[in-house]
């Protein structure tokens, strides 16, 4: 769990640095930072999607990504994951923000921060390496990236991302503890598919931050994990 702890600690340090810098940032500059952060996130999402779909020599992997995204959206919408997470964020907002005036971004930054910190290949692969091999190098590398992105995020959106540290700890910690149990299910193809779908969610987040869309991204979260079952099923059907 050392890598997970370091990753969470890096986020906390990033929040502290971001709050210090925020004191010197005007609203106008904050808006510019928001756009800059959104564009960086968009680049990460697009590059991740392209990287993980570059070897789609047949339609097999593309089918998995499409089916996983559609089914994941249906499942997430039926459960109303986004609504539940947002209500949790609003509850925390009422408890932690004095005299909330409806303009607080705590709930939004909590949800967005959870997506930024948890969605992606490094968290999955790093946690599995830590759990199976005791190798924390990937999680430590992710911690450095998260620290930098957290500083910018806090400067633009506020300290709500600090609450996302709990989500990060639970997500990566669970993968580390379950690594040996679930590793046989996570072939290279499955991880690639999970990363491709995760990159699509990152792109959605960037569009939301830019004000282009208002997608309820949390409803797509189940899509990330569906390739675990879909990959072998599609391979069996096509063969």
Q: What was the pLDDT predicted at 238?
A: 67
What angle separates helix 60-79 from helix 27-53, to the nearest 10 degrees? 130
d(CA 210, CA 234): 36
| Mean pLDDT score, 167-195 | 84
Q: Does residue 125 surpass a pLDDT of 80?
A: no
Higher pLDDT, 56 or 74: 74
| Mean pLDDT score, 77-83 | 91
Q: What was the pLDDT predicted at 13?
A: 93
Q: What was the pLDDT predicted at 43?
A: 85
Q: Does residue 137 surpass a pLDDT of 80?
A: yes
d(CA 226, CA 187): 13
Nearest to 197 by CA among 78, 43, 61: 61
Q: Would you place residue 239 in the very low, low, confident or very high pLDDT band (cuts 50, 70, 90)?
A: low
- Which DSSP state fits 56? -
Instruction: Answer for the pair 158, 106: CB distance below 8 angstroms, yes or no.
Output: yes
Q: Does residue 55 surpass a pLDDT of 60?
A: no
- Which DSSP state fits 12? H
């Amino acid at each position: 769990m050392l890598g997970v702890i370091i990753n969470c600690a890096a986020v906390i340090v990033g929040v502290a640095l971001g709050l210090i810098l925020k004191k010197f940032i005007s609203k106008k500059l904050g808006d510019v930072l928001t756009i800059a952060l959104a564009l960086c996130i968009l680049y990460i999402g697009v590059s991740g999607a392209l990287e993980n779909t570059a070897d789609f020599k047949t339609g097999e992997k593309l089918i998995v990504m499409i089916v996983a995204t559609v089914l994941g959206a249906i499942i997430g919408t039926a459960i109303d994951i986004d609504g539940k997470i947002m209500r949790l964020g609003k509850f925390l907002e009422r408890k932690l923000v004095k005299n909330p005036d409806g303009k607080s971004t705590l709930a939004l930054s909590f949800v967005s921060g959870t997506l930024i910190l948890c969605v992606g290949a490094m968290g999955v692969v790093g946690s599995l390496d830590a759990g199976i091999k005791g190798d924390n190098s990937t999680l430590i590398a992710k911690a450095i990236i998260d620290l930098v992105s957290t500083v910018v995020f806090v400067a633009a959106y506020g300290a709500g991302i600090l609450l996302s540290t709990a989500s990060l700890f639970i997500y990566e910690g669970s993968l580390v503890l379950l690594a040996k149990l679930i590793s046989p299910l996570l072939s290279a193809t499955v991880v690639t598919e999970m990363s491709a779908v995760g990159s699509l969610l990152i792109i959605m987040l960037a569009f939301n931050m830019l004000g282009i869309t208002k997608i309820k991204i949390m409803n797509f979260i189940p899509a990330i994990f569906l390739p675990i079952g879909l990959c072998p099923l599609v391979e069996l059907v096509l063969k």
